[in-house]
A = this chain, B = another copy of it.
Amino acid sequence: MKRVITISREFGSGGRDIGKRTAEKLGFAFYDKDIIKLAAQESGLAADYLTQADENISGGSSLHFTIGDMFSYGSYSPETMPMPDQIHVLLSRVINDIANRESCVIVGRSSNYILRNRDDCLHVFVHAPKEAKLRRIIDDFGVPEKNAEKELERTERARASYYRHYSGLNWGLAKNFHISLDSGLFGLEACADIITRLAQTI
């Protein structure tokens, strides 16, 4: 049976790595931000917009009603919206297409919210203590130690803001996911094992 696993994650929590390991264990396709962008480009939907895509959406009012309605009724045109919103709508379409097509692991892009009404999804949130996230940002992402804390705060703020902007929900609430894991305590491999086992049994 087809299964779609979405992974939302705090910056530096290792969530992307956990997603990749999970996909390998299950033999599922793996999609992160870059591959989703690529898929959108290849679909011909969004090549003009995606070069400037990022998650640095500044505040503003929530769009979750208009985006929901858009897909249901086709009554809004992406071209009349600000560029970040156009990008999000196009990526949402690509994420829905991917989820319709194959068993996969999708990391980021509010994919748990975009796919919230499907019943073949396992929605995962990965977080970690601050020290573990700083360590990963410095060691694995190559951020200079003196900038790490500021970079962590900036990215977490941007991610929470992006999520709230497009979903209308607060970032990091357990109830918006089927399982949330502290990768700092369990480690990346054990987290991937837990998710893999759950995906096989539900």
Contacts and interface: CB of A to CB of B under 8 A. Distances in A.
Highest count of chain B CB atoms <10 Å: which of A122, A175, A181, A185: A175
A15 to B, nearest CB: 12
Given A125-B174, A172-B173, A182 B182 contact: no
A53 to B, nearest CB: 26
Interface string A106-132: 000000000000000010010100000
A63 interface: no
Contacts of A185: 122, 178, 202
Nearest to A184: B178
A190 interface: yes
A76 B186 CA distance: 38
Contact of A177 (B174, B175, B178, B198): B174
Interface residues of A, number: 21
Interface string A57-71: 000000000000000
A179 interface: yes
A178 B182 contact: yes
A22 interface: no
Contacts of A125: 174, 180
Nearest to A174: B180
Nearest to A173: B172
Interface of A: 10, 122, 125, 127, 172-175, 177-182, 185-186, 190, 194, 198, 201-202
Name the 3 nearest CB pairs between A and B, nearest first.
Answer: A174-B180, A180-B180, A174-B174
Given A177-B180, A179-B181, 13 more contacts: A122-B185, A125-B180, A127-B174, A173-B174, A174-B180, A178-B182, A178-B186, A179-B179, A179-B180, A180-B180, A186-B198, A186-B202, A190-B201
